[in-house]
Structure 1
């Protein structure tokens, strides 16, 4: 990017990178390139998906208490929408919770492919079938799934799918992709110069929109994140994601067993198939633990009472040993004990 930036015509080259990122993501999820919009983050993508809908007859938006706040807040901000929450207050949710709550008043169902805190993997296809039978659309947050397990939008049956490049897609924060099954539908409320039929005409007095997903786009994307997205997606595109899925499941099993032997408490679903690619270690002072581990080159994410340990395609047994040993050292140094889940 810096090399391109030092030469004339940088924006044209950057646009080519945007187009390549769009193409690579479309291939990753089995979509057509014209069904993909490039946006700054998942919150904007959620707003774009909901803001163009008419909510008069079907006002209910079904969401879970395990939803990432950036998505949930976008739902709560929609005028005329009545958000109905499912799942326990602590964030636990099951596929059956959705199936029992979808009604003819439901306009949209928001279902994370994998929950951001506890790594619960939901049966999106089953939820989508039930939602469509009731006449509702389905929005999928795949931020905790894209890049570590196969995702095919036709198999999932979703109407919208969003993910960002700052996690398993090996890129940087500042870029997200929105898949739209029917991109020639209602116009979103938010727009910008890239949402035009031909942005390069630079006509300030004309508000036209293309019949493809770029109508959901807004302004100039973060160039560094675009270049990193192309690099990350190129790496991910060369992997067998089913093999990656098997690998992360093995890493989850090994880590959970090791931590349990050390006396730690971890959140695991009933089966590995219903679990994502990260492990939630119960820790009320997760921020303190994460900072201590980070100073020892063990990177983990504190999330509301848990420490999130993410497994990637490149995670090794040595990585697991290092992390578990560091957690044991933290317990000895801080003289704290693992707490039972609440």
Structure 2
């Protein structure tokens, strides 16, 4: 029985020996350490000790690019590797011209690392328009009502980073295209834990990164471009040339494939671990992973609510990502206390994010809920560890 058919979490939990000592519910922020990651880093150090290291490193970069393209149903020539999603977003938008259409539609639920790139486009003539509530919640209907004939670009997160709201990308993309707009999707909170196929999503660009649900390290991001040769980025580097190894400082050419968006040398350690994480993800049935995570989230929400906690979980499974948000005004203090008790979570302002993945078990949810109950008792009698910020 392989990982794609074996029941979860047993199929993969053994690949994460660190989970024997800790409960990791923070994949929406950082992936847990795995034996695959350890082996990838060992391989990198072994390669570094031998001649031909740069050739070996470039093979890892190429392998990561191919595996990501396969994961999202794209051609490898539609995928580029970049240092992070902010640069990936910049590469996608920098080739646009804000002339007859000037509106860039985004949401208050957008991750700042992407939203700030959009705000920077105002100097180039864009008008940033926001949908969603001032507190950072958004629905697919908010997007559908906000798209107009003045909209040039629609930026939509596949899953929102704070509240894990999963948006209907296909409906939004269809509406945007009907109005003549380009669609870019930030899939960082979805890739690796939700099945994704760019043809089904109908997006023009898609961003993702390796440091969360793709089970790698931070330092590597991916950019999918449906028609890469139609855009020339403003930022470039030697990896973005037709033949990088020509090393010609006097010639600036751009290949027709998505590597035209690439810049300089990627993080080598992140490339090695990206291949390890993507290999692990490839061996999973992501539809089964989604069923598994949704069951765990529902159980966690039910138990925490019964304990008197306030949680935000979108009303239907189709509208949910792989984490839930526990409302907590002293989020950083609670997170520090939980960390000291062997439970890793992902705090944000006024919320604790509790993320699940293929390796998450029922006992992890039990440990979390038990610990929060103890924390509430202790916090009524003394100041919790840490400070609210």
**Which TM-score tier does this pair reach, normalised by the shorter chain?**
over 0.9
1:229-268 equivalences under 5 Å are: 229-268=274-313
**1:241-284: CA deviation from partner (whole Å, max 9, x where unpaired):** 00000000001001001111111100011211111100100011
Does residue 27 of the first structure (1) align with residue 55 of the second (2)?
no
Give the Cα separation in 2 of the matches to 1:6 and 1:91. Answer: 48
1:1-342 equivalences under 5 Å are: 1-78=44-121, 79-335=124-380
Query: Alignment partner of 2:218: what SS?
Result: coil
Residue 296 of structure 1 deviates from its aligned partner by 1.6
Give the Cα separation in 2 of the matches to 1:107 and 1:221. Answer: 31
Give unmatched runs, 5+ long, in structure 1.
337-342
**Which residue is 1:339 aligned to?**
none
Give the Cα separation in 2 of the matches to 1:191 and 1:291. Answer: 41
Give the Cα separation in 2 of the matches to 1:330 and 1:170. Answer: 29
**1:276-307: CA deviation from partner (whole Å, max 9, x where unpaired):** 10010001111111111112221111112110
**1:102-129: CA deviation from partner (whole Å, max 9, x where unpaired):** 1111010000000000010100000000
How large is the Cα RMSD of the aligned pairs?
1.0
Query: Alignment partner of 1:100: what SS?
Result: helix
Residue 48 of structure 1 deviates from its aligned partner by 0.6
**Deviation above 4 Å: which 4+ runs of structure 1?**
none
Give the Cα separation in 2 of the matches to 1:132 and 1:219. Answer: 33
TM-score, scaled to structure 2: 0.86
Matched residue count: 337
Residue 85 of structure 1 deviates from its aligned partner by 0.2
Query: Alignment partner of 1:225: what SS?
Result: helix
Higher relative contact order, structure no. (Cα contacts within 8 Å, ≥ 6 residues apart): 2
Give unmatched runs, 5+ long, in structure 2.
1-43, 382-389
TM-score, scaled to structure 1: 0.97
Query: Alignment partner of 1:184: what SS?
Result: helix
